[in-house]
Amino acid sequence: MYGEQLTQVYEEIYQSRGKDWGAEARLAIDHIKARAPKADSLLDVACGTGAHLSEFSAAFRRVEGVDIEENMLRAAKARVPDVLLTQADMRDFDLGRRFDAVCCMFCSLAYLPTVEDMRAAVRTMADHLVPGGVIVIEPWWFPEKFIDGYVAGDLARGDDRTIARISHSVRKGDATHMEVRFLVGDSDGITEFTEIDVLTLFTEDEYLSALADAGCPAEYLPGAPTGRGLFIGVRN
């Protein structure tokens, strides 16, 4: 998962699919400011390559990021060298400080294998919020929305290389099993690698229950930023 090869093509291939990290971050910022106008600190959980952090850093005085993957954090450090980054598991990290907002974008919670793991992560994120702080979570597909056997194909053409991505997703129990194959062509030739993503199909009620029990009663807003909607909660 998220090895060095994927890190090198990650943003380029998703941009070819229409992903706009800046617009996504600005949407989250709007929701946060609407509920906590004086918010000036934010923690980005599963921050990845730091693409959201760039926008968050312009909107908040203090911004930090957490991710479990070393390769992703290395890329984030190169992008936002002034942002404090911590390598940690979202289920049980403790930074020893609280924030006005916590975000967990791009369905990162779904990479946890069980409801208990998801609830632990939500609780950990809530524990890093000040009272009145805002939590923003982007889910993976709900079970009733997932298309079994779905195939996607994308092509990114750059000045120095071309990247092809083909994925096939099937449902196994309560999870999506997605096989993703990449072809990368540049002046040195063509390389190929495969990633296997397993994303749990948590229900809307399971997310809402986890947030409520963590002291962050939330609402679900369908649609933006990527068609899967957002959960927005406020810490008691």
Domain boundaries, the chain: 4-142+202-234, 144-200
pLDDT score recorded for residue 113 = 98
Each residue's pLDDT tens digit, 84-98 = 999 999 999 999 999
Residue 187 pLDDT > 70? yes
pLDDT score recorded for residue 3 = 80
pLDDT score recorded for residue 6 = 93
What phi and psi, each to the nearest 5 degrees, are found at residue 110?
Answer: -70, -15
Over range 130-157, report the average pLDDT.
98
Over range 141-157, report the average pLDDT.
97
Residue 9 pLDDT > 70? yes
- In angstroms, the CA 126 to CA 101 distance is 9
3-state helix, strand, coil in the chain (%, to 5): 35, 35, 30
- In angstroms, the CA 136 to CA 104 distance is 6
Percentage of the chain modeled with pLDDT above 70: 100
Over range 156-177, report the average pLDDT.
97
pLDDT score recorded for residue 4 = 87
CATH number among 3.40.50.150, 1.10.10.10, 3.40.50.2300, 3.90.226.30, domain 4-142+202-234: 3.40.50.150
pLDDT score recorded for residue 1 = 63
Over range 101-116, report the average pLDDT.
98
What CATH class is the domain 144-200?
Answer: mainly beta
Each residue's pLDDT tens digit, 25-83 = 999 999 999 999 999 999 999 999 999 999 999 999 999 999 999 999 999 999 999 99
Per CATH, 4-142+202-234 and 144-200 having the same topology is answered: no
- Three-state DSSP class for 148? coil
Over range 196-205, report the average pLDDT.
98
Beta-bridge mates of residue 129: 99
